[in-house]
Amino acid sequence: MKLKKQVTVCGAAIFCVAVFSLYLMLDRVQHDPTRHQNGGNFPRSQISVLQNRIEQLEQLLEENHEIISHIKDSVLELTANAEGSPALLPYHTANGSWVVPPEPRPSFFSISPQDCQFALEDRGQKPELQMLTVSEELPFDNVEGGVWRQGFDISYSPHDWDTEDLQVFVVPHSHNDPGWIKTFDKYYTEQTQHILNSMVSKLQEDSRRRFLWAEVSFFAKWWDNINAQKRAAVRRLVGNGQLEIATGGWVMPDEANSHYFALIDQLIEGHQWLERNLGATPRSGWAVDPFGHSSTMPYLLRRANLTSMLIQRVHYAIKKHFAATHSLEFMWRQTWDSDSSTDIFCHMMPFYSYDVPHTCGPDPKICCQFDFKRLPGGRINCPWKVPPRAITEANVAERYLFPALVWAWSWHFCSLEESGDLPQEWDAQFFNYQRLFDFLNSKPELHVQAQFGTLSDYFDALYKRTGVEPGARPPGFPVLSGDFFSYADREDHYWTGYYTSRPFYKSLDRVLEAHLRGAEILYSLAVAHTRRSGLASRYPLSDFTLLTEARRTLGLFQHHDAITGTAKEAVVVDYGVRLLRSLVGLKQVIINAAHYLVLGDKDTYHFDPEAPFLQMDDTRLNHDALPERTVIQLDSSPRFVVLFNPLEQERLSVVSLLVNSPRVRVLSEEGQPLAVQISAHWRSATDMVPDVYQVSVPIRLPALGLGVLQLQLGLDGHRTLPSSVRVYLHGQQLSVSRHDAFPLHVIDSGSSDFALSNRYMQVWFSGLTGLPKSIRRVDEEQDQQMNMEFLIYGTRTSKDKSGAYLFLPDGEAKPYSPKDPPVLRVTEGPFYSEVVAYYEHVHQVVRLYNLPGVEGLSLDVSSLVDIRDYVNKELALRIHTDIDSAAPEVSKEAAPAGCTEAPHTTHCSGLGRLQPQGW
């Protein structure tokens, strides 16, 4: 009541001051001595000025009156329900724009300098290698490299090791893709299970044998299908060091497209499985096949207590440079780290690939002669036409090429890739190499000690040789910061096409990820409450199985041939079915948990799988279908909508729902009426969906908390605020749907620029393209350029073309030129405004929220691309801006196709690939 009186008095004072000012001005005019001296002839120009000022004052008085009226309404609503949150009641200003009153609580909190102290500290000694600097300095000229173009020559002397033996570790491993040419299950059935079965039997035959495995997803499936005796043998092999599980992730993930949440999640899932079933803790990371390497992975591995790691797919020019400067092993440090807390020791494999011909030395023709899987009569041979020969006592001395190779690459370990689904292939590799090792180790004059080893065997020997603890920096090794993107293996074959290949499934990945996080939080809260309340027996604890399945599905899709979009079509379909199945399961978990948590009387909770208490706000009919939103059927009885905020901080957001009538009242959980924006729901650029309407309401949700809205049939003219719509046809003869509830203005041929604004910014759009041109913040005087344009890249006519992996354009990008100019639809309302541009192949939405806080400072851009008419083309959204980011002008390219969804926003990045695979 005190606040109400203060606002009323303040408003009355403003009104009195304005009226009194007007009275003084008029009184001064009447008593102006100059006017009397001129015989009462007042200059007409001054009269005109006075009239304009009076009109301005009247306008200001009217606006003040409107503001005071709305403030009074807000105060009345606040005092009527002191326990509820105040409604955001917008109002129109005299110039026609919507204004939302400021909130009583601050939108932002001040940041203490201590919160970012690491940014203020002295960085100390800078890393010797910074990849931005290295990339700027290298010419990337692809000069002839010796035995193969992207290779390099190595000079050496066998006498370099006369004082100390050269230790050689041959690391047998089998790289198994959890889906690529074949599906996950087909790979397992036809190959992987046989490899693992052979591994157990062959390692037990000789304790000197070693084997490295990385993909826990396959290992877990195999474990579920073996007997107790074989499980015990596996535990023994892990315990005595013959078998090492490297990295320990559910998969060997891609490092460009995967979100860090999913990277962590698949790592946790794999590590927990290993601890629970084998009692094993991974020590070393093994990443031989991701298409480029991110600095995020060494950070995550170090935080997971791994001490060393290995990477392979790095640009050939960088490998050449690092080899020449003896930098192929280094301490990898985060760019923001001021000391060594994030350091992890990293070994970069020097050559083209991770198989035998490209690991044992610089000449694949010679190395292939030591890949005994390729012995004559086998399934594969050496492309260099010089086959390997079986090692015997009679010819072992002649195989002097092998020590020459390892001398040539001293301190490097050899990687021996096993196919391994046939037992004879294991025998061929193990027997022949062991004979070679026995001969070398029996000749002290050669100064070579060779053996089978795991990855950790190699790193342990290195730490021992240099006299440091595992994970510490060995003397003489450089510190590096940065990442290893973009990757090229030869020529100008840059592996950047996979950044956006099959963007629909990249988007579905993010949808599953968001649902998984929400489901885990709600499930944890619900189960904790039931246990505390003694109601655990009523709650479906079997939902934990659905959570586990979803975590493993999400982890599986982080595989470097899954989220990248580089798998075969049938494999992609298999991934999509798995993603959708897990998404449906997570929705069930969310429904059950929200049902329990939202009840005031928990004793009334009853789980009925046949009649769920709630339903989700969208459904997908198939794995490759866009979501279809639920339309809420209104009547006189309230319909309740439960909302969940999965963030760790309170959030003010606009929530949009579909209803079957524009006559809708929305109330808070306590029954307080809320202001809403009602809009048409469109099926195309000019056609409204009949009997379907969008209601948008701002709501504040607590951190990790639930909220409830009540919707019912009715009309509150003061709070149900319709959007206004302008449609720009640009000369096209199209009929536009109309509805009495929404003001609609059709502009047949206009192309003038226009603006949308909120309390923070004004955004100007091209009237011809519908794309943004500039942004001006209200506290700045100058516009910031932000031009957007669509561009098309063609592909080469040569054999090597752009595809799932590579981006090989035929030249500079050309402007995207559709047959017809876009139809633009501009929607303006109290809580959001948007511009929708309908091109022939692209449907783009740019939305501006009229809210205090973070959402009001954001500009959301989302795009939907129909690619069915375009083949072998690349569609890019290029953004030009003059925003200062350490360069006079920055040009970015973003993908309308490669979008990731958050609860109420859509963000796009990368290049959009148009492939003949549907939406």
- Cβ-based burial of 732 (10 A; exposed 0-12, middle 13-18, buried ≥19): middle
**Which tokens belong to 481?**
């910061």
Across 300-319, average pLDDT: 97
Give 26's pLDDT tier (boundaries 50, 70, 90). Answer: very low
Across 629-658, average pLDDT: 93
Helix axes of 193-205 and 216-223: crossing angle, nearest 10 degrees? 80
Tell me which of 339 and 153 has the higher pLDDT.
339
Res. 828: pLDDT tops 50 = yes
What local confidence, expressed as pLDDT, does residue 910 receive?
33
Neighbours of 101 (CB within 10 A): 16
Distance CA 396, CA 443 (A): 12
CB half-sphere exposure, 355, CA atoms < 13 A: 13
Give 474's pLDDT tier (boundaries 50, 70, 90). Answer: very high
What local confidence, expressed as pLDDT, does residue 313 receive?
97
What local confidence, expressed as pLDDT, does residue 636 receive?
85
Q: In terms of DSSP bridges, do strands 873-881 and 912-914 run parallel, antiparallel, or are they unpaired?
A: antiparallel
Neighbours of 436 (CB within 10 A): 19
What local confidence, expressed as pLDDT, does residue 905 receive?
29
**What percent of the chain lies above the pLDDT cut of 90?**
59
Distance CA 824, CA 116 (A): 44
**What integer best gives the mean pLDDT of the chain?**
85
Beta strand ranges found along 182-242 (DSSP E): 211-213
689-741 pLDDT, tens per residue?
999 999 999 999 999 999 999 999 988 778 899 999 999 999 899 999 988 88
Res. 19: pLDDT tops 50 = no
Res. 912: pLDDT tops 60 = no
What local confidence, expressed as pLDDT, does residue 126 receive?
84
Q: Are 424 and 194 in contact (CB under 8 A)?
A: no
Q: Are 760 and 778 in contact (CB under 8 A)?
A: yes
Distance CA 467, CA 475 (A): 9
347-377 pLDDT, tens per residue?
999 998 998 888 888 888 888 988 898 999 8
Q: In terms of DSSP bridges, do strands 823-828 and 832-838 run parallel, antiparallel, or are they unpaired?
A: antiparallel
Q: Which residues have C-beta within 8 Å of that of residue 336, sequence separation ≥ 6?
A: 118, 119
Distance CA 478, CA 325 (A): 10
Distance CA 513, CA 676 (A): 30
Distance CA 688, CA 707 (A): 30
Distance CA 583, CA 590 (A): 11
What local confidence, expressed as pLDDT, does residue 65 receive?
63
Across 2-11, average pLDDT: 50
What local confidence, expressed as pLDDT, does residue 918 receive?
28
Give 916's pLDDT tier (boundaries 50, 70, 90). Answer: very low
Across 660-680, average pLDDT: 93
Q: Which residues have C-beta within 8 Å of that of residue 333, sequence separation ≥ 6?
A: 127, 340, 342, 343, 479, 480, 481
**Which tokens belong to 631?**
């339309």
Nearest to 585 by CA among 608, 629, 538, 553: 553
What local confidence, expressed as pLDDT, does residue 574 receive?
98
Ramachandran angles phi, psi of 708, nearest 5°: -130, 135
Give 116's pLDDT tier (boundaries 50, 70, 90). Answer: low
What is the Rg, in whole angstroms, of the alpha carbon atoms belonging to the chain?
A: 34
What local confidence, expressed as pLDDT, does residue 811 receive?
92
Q: Are 453 and 169 in contact (CB under 8 A)?
A: yes
Give 914's pLDDT tier (boundaries 50, 70, 90). Answer: very low
Across 225-242, average pLDDT: 98
762-811 pLDDT, tens per residue?
999 999 999 999 999 888 888 999 999 999 999 998 888 888 999 999 99
Tell me which of 648 and 106 has the higher pLDDT.
648
260-270 pLDDT, tens per residue?
999 999 999 99
372-421 pLDDT, tens per residue?
989 998 888 999 989 999 988 888 887 656 666 665 555 556 677 766 77
Give 852's pLDDT tier (boundaries 50, 70, 90). Answer: confident
**What percent of the chain lies above the pLDDT cut of 70?**
81
Distance CA 490, CA 137 (A): 19
Give 61's pLDDT tier (boundaries 50, 70, 90). Answer: low
Res. 896: pLDDT tops 60 = no
Nearest to 458 by CA among 329, 351, 352, 350: 329
What local confidence, expressed as pLDDT, does residue 166 receive?
85
Res. 27: pLDDT tops 60 = no
DSSP string of 690-726, one letter each residue: EEEEEEEEEEEE-TT-EEEEEEEE---TTTEEE-EEE
What local confidence, expressed as pLDDT, does residue 393 receive?
86
What local confidence, expressed as pLDDT, does residue 908 receive?
32
What local confidence, expressed as pLDDT, does residue 38 receive?
45
- The DSSP output letter for 198 is H
Give 855's pLDDT tier (boundaries 50, 70, 90). Answer: confident
556-586 pLDDT, tens per residue?
999 999 999 999 999 999 999 999 999 999 9
Give 451's pLDDT tier (boundaries 50, 70, 90). Answer: very high
Res. 58: pLDDT tops 70 = no
Res. 900: pLDDT tops 50 = no
Is-cis flag, bond preceding 486, omega within 30?
Answer: yes
- Identity of the highest mean pLDDT range in 2-6, 160-164, 365-369, 411-415: 365-369
**Which tokens belong to 233?**
């043998």
Give 887's pLDDT tier (boundaries 50, 70, 90). Answer: very low
Res. 830: pLDDT tops 70 = yes
Q: Are 789 and 815 in contact (CB under 8 A)?
A: yes
Cα 37 to chain centroid, rounded? 78
Rounded-to-5 percentages of helix, strand, coil across the chain: 35, 20, 45
What local confidence, expressed as pLDDT, does residue 405 receive?
61
510-532 pLDDT, tens per residue?
999 999 999 999 999 999 999 99
Supply the residues annotated as catalytic: 289
Distance CA 634, CA 641 (A): 12
SS (H, E, C) 511-541: HHHHHHHHHHHHHHHHHHHHHHHCCHHHCCC
pTM: 0.86
* 190-218: burial string, b at 16+ Cβ within 10 Å, e else: ebbbbbbbbbbebbeeeeebbbbbbbbbb
Res. 73: pLDDT tops 90 = no
Q: Are 330 and 476 in contact (CB under 8 A)?
A: no
Out of 112-121, 187-196, 567-576, 671-680, pick the least confident: 112-121
